[in-house]
C-alpha cells in the first residue's frame, strides 16, 4: 500500500510510463548512497520508482547514472545483481506469507488431504513443488477439474522446490499443498502473482489456472 497521503500512481524512471504503485518497485538510498529496494514502500527519503519486472530493473541497474543518478539527483552506488536481489527479496516475502497460511490454519499438505480439500470445494489455490512428479500433479488437476466452481480454476503455484516448501512450513517432504479460503491465502497468492509478474511468468505453465 502507498504511504498515507501519497499518490496511488507513479512514473517508471525507465519506461516513463505511469502505473499504480502496486505495479512498481520503490528504490531508496541507504546512508552510504547505495540504491536499495523498498518493497514495502515505507523507508524514508526520496524514492525512485521502476516497473516491477526483472528486465526493467536490469535496465535501471545498467543505466544507473542516468536512471538512479538523475532520479536521486546525486551520485549513487549500485551493487551488481540488483534485479537478482529484488527477486530474492520477493521470493522470501512469498515464502514468509506461505508460512503465515500454515499458522492461520489456511493450508493442508499431503496428497490425500489435498485431494479431500479439492473434493470439498474449499480450495483457493494449489501448491506443487517444482520438483514434484508430474503424475501426482496431473491426478490432482483431474480432481480439481471434476470439482465444483470453487475448486475448478484455482490458482496453481509451482515456483518453489520441496526444500523451500519444507523450510517455509516447518515440515518435511512437502510436495503438494492446498490453500483454503482465507485472508492469509489471499495474501500469499498476491505475493506469488507479484513474483510471477516480476519474472515474466504470467500465463506461464509454471503457474496457471486449471483449464477444465
Q: What is the mean pLDDT of the chain?
A: 89
The pLDDT value given to residue 208:
39
3 — pLDDT class (breaks 50, 70, 90):
low
pLDDT digits (tens, 9 = 90+) for 95-113: 999 999 999 999 999 999 9
Rounded Cα distance, 58 and 5, in Å = 30
- The per-residue pLDDT for range 32-91, each reduced to its tens digit, is 999 999 999 999 999 999 999 999 999 999 999 999 999 999 999 999 999 999 999 999
Is a pLDDT exceeding 70 seen at residue 133? Answer: yes
Query: pTM, whole model, 2 decimals?
Result: 0.86
Using an 8 Å Cβ cutoff, are 108 and 117 in contact?
Answer: yes
Amino acid at each position: 500500500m502507498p504511504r498515507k497521503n501519497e499518490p496511488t500512481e507513479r512514473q517508471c524512471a525507465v519506461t516513463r510510463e505511469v502505473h499504480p504503485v502496486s505495479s512498481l518497485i520503490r528504490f531508496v538510498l541507504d546512508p552510504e548512497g547505495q540504491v536499495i529496494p523498498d518493497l514495502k514502500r515505507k523507508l524514508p527519503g526520496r524514492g525512485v520508482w521502476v516497473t516491477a519486472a526483472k528486465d526493467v530493473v536490469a535496465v535501471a541497474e545498467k543505466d544507473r547514472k542516468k536512471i538512479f543518478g538523475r532520479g536521486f539527483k546525486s551520485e549513487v552506488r549500485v551493487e551488481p545483481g540488483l534485479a537478482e536481489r529484488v527477486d530474492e527479496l520477493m521470493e522470501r516475502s512469498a515464502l514468509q506469507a506461505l508460512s503465515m497460511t500454515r499458522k492461520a490454519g489456511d493450508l493442508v499438505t499431503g496428497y490425500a488431504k489435498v485431494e479431500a480439500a479439492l473434493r470439498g470445494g474449499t480450495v483457493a489455490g494449489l501448491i506443487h513443488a517444482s520438483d514434484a512428479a508430474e503424475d501426482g500433479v496431473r491426478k490432482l488437476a483431474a480432481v480439481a477439474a471434476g470439482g465444483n466452481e470453487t475448486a475448478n480454476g484455482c490458482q496453481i503455484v509451482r515456483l518453489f522446490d520441496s526444500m523451500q516448501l519444507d523450510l517455509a512450513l516447518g515440515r518435511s517432504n512437502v510436495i503438494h499443498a492446498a490453500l483454503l479460503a482465507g485472508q492469509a491465502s489471499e495474501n500469499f497468492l498476491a505475493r506469488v502473482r507479484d513474483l510471477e509478474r516480476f519474472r515474466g511468468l504470467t500465463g506461464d505453465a509454471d503457474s496457471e489456472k486449471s483449464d477444465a
